[in-house]
Structure 1
Amino acid sequence: MDIVILAIIIAVVVIGAISGLVVSGRRKKRLPPTPPERTPSVTAPEAEPHVGDEAEKPRDEQRRTIEEVPLPDAETATSTPEAVEDPVVALPPQPEIEVPEPTAGRLVRLRARLSRSQNALGKGLLTLLSREHLDEDTWEEIEDTLLTADVGVAPTQELVERLRERVRVLGTRTTDELRTLLREELLTLVGADTDRTVHTEAAPDKPGIVMVVGVNGTGKTTTTGKLARVLVADGKSVVLGAADTFRAAAADQLQTWGERVGARTVRGPEGGDPASIAFDAVKEGIAEKADAVLIDTAGRLHTKTGLMDELGKVKRVVEKQAPVDEVLLVLDATTGQNGLVQARVFAEVVSITGIVLTKLDGTAKGGIVIAVQRELGVPVKLIGLGEGADDLAPFEPGAFVDALIGD
């Protein structure tokens, strides 16, 4: 037993000795040298300037005392101060009022523009009529020329029949004789004696009221603004009613036109009731004793029954205050026969009293003037011949026919 205990003690001593040798060996291993510590480079902050370092050098001259500073005299101190306009709250400058061109003879001044687009019709007819032998083929060509210009089937047949008869009776056909003959027949077809006045005869206590209707894209709002210029040029005061509440910026556009000639625009919220705005416009026109109130209605698609019915509502509401003197239908001359379809539907909803043909300078189909008058039984009263502010002209049959057949 003692031997076992002694053996255990010897084993423990041996193990302890071996462990000491291992630890000692580990301690004797050389460690990698520690890199020298870097001293951070610190840049000393610039010395802050002391009070007075940047001050100006004292002036040599002697400073005045408060007793030496002169005071304003009593009259200056008690005078009424002058108002100084604050640029922040100042009202925006008012637009300069323009003076529109006189309407008398305006179509004559624009005749060259009309001739460029319409002259082909007149020259074509004169060329055909000047042939030595006017056989059936030639008369068919004359018919085709008129139909291509959108004169319409019935008016074309009437014109050809009258030309046939007069040429047969005339016998010798010089160029001047043919031009005179053609001018007379075209004037008869257009209607030289038709009343084409835009009626705005105001009653003693009520203005003349004009409604402007038409489909989208015909230039209806622009035409309303230009019509305001026509009336102002004739010496009349105008109030504009922006009843087109469905097209974005239509009221802004109309108001801009009005401001240019000093006409006030009555408008409402976008998407508001057009009849209510038209009613307010007439009410304001009566209050201001204006000569005319022009109401720009929303563009209506002639295929939309609900919208067309609403147009009739606008007219009925307006007539609670004063009768509507004119209902002008704006048609795009470049649409040709399709414009007649629009015209028929509008005529069923509101009683059309006159037609405004726009973009007549952009088409060779001037015969639409004849066709639309025949279709509706109402005259073309105004025509648009360009983008300029004063390019809307009262329709003059003589100047129009002269532009067709040339000099």
Structure 2
Amino acid sequence: MAARDVSTHARPTRAAERPDDPPARLSACVMAHPVRQAAAERLAVALSEFDAGVVTDPEPGRPGGPLRTSRMAWSRVAPGATHHLVVQDDSVLAPDFVRHALAGTRALPGHALGLFTEWGSFTSYALRVAALVGTDWVEVVDGYMPAQALILPADVAREFDRYAARATTGDEPDDEVLLGFLRSMGVPMVVSVSNLVQHGDEVSIAGNGWHGLRKAACWRTDPVAPADTVLDRIALVPFFSWFTGDAICRFRDQPASDDWRQVPAVDLLRAYGLGDDDVRRLIANGCPQRPSDAAVPAHLTQALVTAAVAVGLLAGECGAPAAGVRTKEPVAAAALATLVPGGLRNFVDGQALPAVSEQLAPVVEAATQLGLETARRTSRSGRDLPAARHFSQ
């Protein structure tokens, strides 16, 4: 197979200072299904500092409810607001949410600020790399804009309803429509590495129950207030598919391209001189309490650990230190802790998932550390990093 020149591109950046920006003034709205009216009103009370209102789907028996309700919610921008927040009715807010949300708008006033991404999403793996690097935000790399809790600049938010009216049939998922809209407006899209919202346990009303549990990728009871560092220009992301059980690596030639292609993640490991045998040794040595093959088939464990090594490799390329304490720092540890449950949520019974996650946690940490050390050792050798030089296709 021919080699391709595919740079990771991704590097931590800091938003340019804009001293003339006015102070952030945030308005808010909770979008809800009528059966969750009470939960939505509780959220509105929690967001009373933003004078939050509640909008509910006016036609809950008809298809297209999420987009219909989203259009209403984004139209509720208060006069004088610089930014607008929309929160979905099955959200759980982090402690001190209001202060952290305002900090985000001050740090990146021109961005779309997602405050949640689910623990098995494509973006969640980019988030884990960002957590190891130490940035506050990470570029959205999914085919949708995570919309569980989302902040937009007020002038952008006011345009969404008009865009949806002319560009959709009304049946599309609102998060996919938001992605297309924000791209059309040239608005950069990011997610906070410390998620400021947790997804509730309610059964999905939008028909997403088959996705399994969709918890936050990095949830802490003492979240870090986001500043302005961003990991973006991402061209290469490893991923364990919660749908197929495969470890893959997605890549694109240009950071802004939608043309993602994929190969087995082990191909990335091989570019660094690692392979399946190294992964098997990690599992054997780093996980004495590994779940039985009946609980988690061996090929799934192999794929999960392969993905974890790949996360470490990419984090090392993006500048994460190789010191062993890195994977134990609170934000990085919280992000790595969700890799197993986010990946296995449809392969393991929900009651067994916490125990399985705990049993596999040591080998995930060891695998990530191996990736970090391998990438940094390769860098010190004076050669170009393999993933930056080429990626076998």
TM-score by length of 2: 0.26
Larger radius of gyration: 1
- Larger relative helix fraction: 1
- Larger relative strand fraction: 2
